[in-house]
Structure 1
Amino acid sequence: MNQHCRLGLLGLGKWARRAYLPNLALMDDVQLVAVSTRTDANRAAAAEWLGPNTAVLPDWRELLKRSDLDGVIVATAPESHCEIAASALDCGLPVLCEKPLALTLDECDRLLEAERQSLAFLQVGLEFRHAPVLCQAKKWVAEGRLGQVTQVWCSIFRDKRDSPRRQPERWVENGGVFVEFLCHYFDMLTALSGGVPERVSGVAGQALRSGAWDHGWLNIEYDSGALGHVGYSLLCPRDAERLELGVAGDRAVLEIMLGQGRLVLQAHDGDRLDWQAPPVDHPSEPYPGSFEQLRHFIGCLRTGEPSPINGVVGRQMLSLGYGAERAVRAQRSVALR
């Protein structure tokens, strides 16, 4: 690999402009060789933002034909993720693909087959997984500081009552709240549980006119014996928005403050341990782990080692999202495919 890691970015929508372009601009060892976007307005804007050293293309297929790429980032509309990521893998290009990897499990299975047949690797975009505070929490769990994990939980309170971006409506179009929104929280709980999700149950309601399940409570059963609990509401006043995340074991309980980068471990014997993420020289924008996720992908490109946050992880989250939808509609516990 050259001194600079040469990347292509497919898609220049709001998420690409918020999560990828600003963070890539902070990296001296990365060269954004080419971008693709369908709209004339985005292409004109990209030419102005990125300058003459980045090719701006109208079709993602043109980008994948280039011979000067070390890897690509797929940040297009969700319905195109599977086709584009599979095509990139067929070209031998490592892929960082935004979630969801596909809009059906059958599509996702075809993408995983493309990953198996390729010499390249697939990483799914789940940025919270890379936040330093979550990495430290996982380390403590793996070291056995909590003992056997029995429960993992999170509560998410957000204000989406009058979203200017029509987020609840768009989530319905792209797999629903469980697939598009809660997948990030499912992934954090799964990473901390030490297990694989096997069953899900729950209740949810619709108070908005978006068609989305905008509040509810879900329960996840893991093959490790741990239980997961996710409570959420999109109806919370903005001033009261919050996220609560924790892990319970038979020796200790861990509270994770994702936004503050802080951990508090309280052992059953009375011992207490506080941890604060060290300061960094880059912003955590737009969410904790966004910058580190890119560094992880680039690190995998340089070493040639595939990312552990791979297609299997992406499929698990898709299966859990659609399983939660089935469970809520059927009002019973369902096994995950």
Structure 2
Amino acid sequence: MTRSINYGLIGCGMMGQEHLHNIALLEGTRVSAIFEPDPEMARAAKALAPDAAMVGSVQELLAVEDLDCLVIASPNHLHVDQICEVADTRPLPLLVEKPLFTDPADAARLEKVQRDYPCPIWVAMEYRYMPPITALIDKVEATGGVKMLSIREHRFPFLDKVGNWNRFNRNTGGTFVEKCCHFFDLMRLILGSDPVRITASGGQAVNHLDEAYDGEIPDILDHGYVIVDFASGGRAMLELCMFAEGSRYQEEISAVGPDAKIEALVPGPGRFWPDHLGEPPLPQVIVSPRNPKGPVTMDVPVDPTLLAAGDHNGSTFYQHKGFLAVVRGEKAQPDVSLQDGLWAVRMGHAAQQAIATGETVHLIA
């Protein structure tokens, strides 16, 4: 019989609770300890993992003997300090939520962790594991080599979070770091290359302008375009709108090469789909060859149990399945490395900088 793997969680707000739901779906797993300082979120986490010890700090969590791995799902601006605290105290296999960091000055601290950390670190890029996006990635060779990649996300505004931390750039790293590092990660993965140049335009047009916290109006952006040139010669574009939740699909991805175009259409969270419209749309993948012409549309249904376990189209389960295989030694290394996570944030920071200055940002590998 396979030995049970014991998890410790740092942060159990909305995303941390999604991790709890999905860990519970994996055979041979158990949540041993949780650190969540907000009383309301801690109560919700305890209801999901009643056997877990609720502790008062990262250090107290790391002192729990019965731990095999850790998940960090705290607010963005806390990630680096917590990763370094784990590294200095008790390194364990680690799944850390995106973005890895918010302040560009912290990249050097993470590069040191990358050199010295003795255990695997997996950066949580859930969008890689959404079944329709996985299907697009699996079929991307049919394009003959992607030359143009377009990612559109038309979605709902930022949700309410504990202490409203996600309303300010200083905590999130900026919208194009917080929200969009997923998409920059997908660009590098699909194009198989690193970015060299980023241009962007965006702003705050609609969302959160009527809100104030201690007299301060949120400064997070709610829409924009980003164009990325890659070392391979490929190009990618991101279109983000966070006041478009009326859309049928939340994400639309198009990869085009000399032989074909492949598209993935991903609906948003089912809990936001209006009942009067009936069943939510199914995810789809469309393959459109140039010769002979004739698009082929494939539905990509997702297990309802996985849909019910979170807001990411079942992807969090598949991500955890891979991470668990790494922890058990059944998989050699994480799919998403610390280097991947660093690149995704660098691209987000470059987009934020390009929007702020109106200038093209050049990236050096």
Same structural fold, with TM-score higher than 0.5 when normalized by the shorter chain: yes
| Contact 2:7–2:31 (CA under 8 A) maintained in structure 1 | yes
CA distance, structure 1, for counterparts of residue 223 and residue 131 of structure 2: 29
> For 1:280-316, what per-residue CA distance to the aligned partner results, in whole angstroms no more than 9, with x for missing partners?
3632321121111111111111126220301111111
2:127–2:133 CA contact under 8 A, matched in 1: yes
Maintained 8 Å contact 1:101/1:315: yes
CA distance in 1: counterparts of 2:19 and 2:168, whole angstroms: 21
Q: Which residue of 2 aligns with 1:261?
A: 283
Could you say if the C-alpha distance between residues 98 and 203 of structure 1 is closer, same or farther in structure 2, counting changes exceeding 3 Å?
same
SS in 2 for 1:257: strand
Say whether the 8 Å CA contact 2:149–2:235 is kept in structure 1: yes
1:280 lines up with 2:303 in the alignment: yes
Is the aligned partner of 1:149 residue 2:176?
no
Q: Which aligned pairs between 1:48-87 and structure 2 lie closer than 5 A?
A: 48-51=47-50, 53-87=51-85
In the other structure, the counterpart of 2:320 is 294
Distance 1:258 1:239 in 2: 11
Measure the CA separation in 2 of the matches of 1:218 and 1:241.
20
Q: CA 1:203/1:272 → structure 2, altered by over 3 Å: closer, same or farther?
A: same
Q: Distance in 1 between matches of 2:84 and 2:264?
A: 36
- Contact residue 266 and residue 272 of structure 1 kept, 8 A: yes
Give 1:35 shift. 0.8
Superimposed CA distance per residue, residues 241-290 of structure 1 (whole angstroms, 9 cap, x where no aligned partner):
63221100011101111333321111110254444436536323211211
Q: Unaligned stretches of 5+ in structure 1?
A: none
Q: 1:48, 1:234 → 2: CA distance?
A: 32
Higher mean C-alpha displacement, 231-240 vs 301-310: 231-240
Q: What is the deviation of 1:76?
A: 1.2
Percentage identity across aligned positions? Answer: 23
Q: CA deviation at 1:42?
A: 4.1
Match of 2:9 in 1: 9
Change (3 A) 1:137 1:89: farther
Deviations 1:194-231 (A, max 9, x none): 21122100211321323222222110011111100111
Q: 1:6 to 1:329 in 2, by over 3 A?
A: same
Of the structure 1 ranges 192-201 and 103-112, higher mean CA displacement relative to structure 2 is found in: 103-112
How many Å apart are 1:172 and its aligned residue?
5.8
Considering only aligned residues, what root-mean-square deviation do their CA atoms show, in Å? Answer: 2.4
CA contact (8 A) 1:101 1:314 kept: yes
Residue ranges of structure 2 left out of the alignment (5+ in a row)? 210-217, 268-281
CA distance in 2, matches of 1:281, 1:241: 18
Task: Name the counterpart of 1:113.
Answer: 112
Q: Distance in 2 between matches of 1:92 and 1:173?
A: 25
Q: Match of 2:345? A: 318
1:332 counterpart = 2:359: yes
**Could you tell which deviates more after superposition, 312-321 or 105-114?**
105-114
1:244 counterpart letter in structure 2:
E
Q: Which moved more, 1:262-271 or 1:279-288?
A: 279-288
Contact 1:205 1:215 in 2 (8 A): yes
